[in-house]
Amino acid sequence: MMDMRKSTSTSFLIMPLSEAYADDFCRMVREYLPGNAWEEVLTNRKYFPNATLMLLRDGVLRGCAFGRASKRPGEFVLDGIAVESQLWRNGYGSKLLAQFEKAANAYGFHKVSLGSAGGFVEKFYIHNGYRPICHKVYRDGKICLAREFADFADYASYLRPEEEGFVVMEKELLNIS
Ligand SMILES: CC(C)(COP(=O)(O)OP(=O)(O)OC[C@H]1O[C@@H](n2cnc3c(N)ncnc32)[C@H](O)[C@@H]1OP(=O)(O)O)[C@@H](O)C(=O)NCCC(=O)NCCS
């Protein structure tokens, strides 16, 4: 029997954000990625238009990914990625991420880094080849390092403090074509 969960036979397209979809993209950022300021998304798009991506399914915007150059040379930051919740677990997020990495690589970056939302989102990035580097927490209005991970086992066995925080992850890009 066909696995419907994995069916992506409906036509979809991943491409740089175009003006016609700017309002839909903005709505999606506000709904799924509220920590990101829309104005910053637009500013970064000016410099890296091919890394400000939308996923269209039958002509309707269903996913987005965007980022910017890090202060660290050679590193590109994924600021946000989202797929509409009705379409989760169909591989669209991974396809968007792969296209984002390709664009970052084409701009000359050799690494993508990100601060992951908690829970299953970390599994999403690990599934896509990202390595957990450290856990950071918000303490007295500042971002503080809570733990640097020695390796994956260390990350997996780590008991997180009560404070809100995020895991920093990285992936080396090996000249994707
Ligand atoms: C994170 C997100 C983009 C993933 O999109 P998606 O299209 O569902 O991702 P994929 O289908 O490509 O998932 C690939 C793999 O990631 C892991 N994964 C994804 N969602 C998962 C979940 N809910 N539980 C466990 N693992 C999950 C699985 O290993 C999955 O492979 P599988 O389905 O074969 O088991 C989507 O959940 C989302 O938009 N979340 C809300 C926004 C958000 O939090 N963005 C990240 C900000 S840092």
| Residue spans per domain, the chain | 12-172
**What CA–CA distance (Å, rounded) separates 103 from 126?**
20
* Whole-number Å distance between alpha carbons of 105 and 39: 24
CATH number for the domain whose boundaries are 12-172 = 3.40.630.30
Q: What is the pLDDT of residue 174?
A: 85
Under-50 pLDDT residues of the chain: 1-8
Strands of the sheet with 142-148, listed across from one edge = 12-16, 53-57, 60-69, 75-83, 111-116, 165-172, 131-139, 142-148
How much is the pLDDT for 80?
98
Q: Give residue 109's pLDDT.
A: 97
pLDDT at res. 5: 42
Pairing between strand 75-83 and 12-16? unpaired
pLDDT value at residue 152: 97
Task: Give the residue, out of 12, 28, 86, 88, with the most ligand 1 atoms within 8 A of its beta carbon, to mutate for a pocket test.
Answer: 88
Q: How far is the CA of 121 from the centre of ligand 1 (A)?
A: 6
Distance CA 62, CA 87 (A): 8
pLDDT tens for 55-93 read: 999 999 999 999 999 999 999 999 999 999 999 999 999
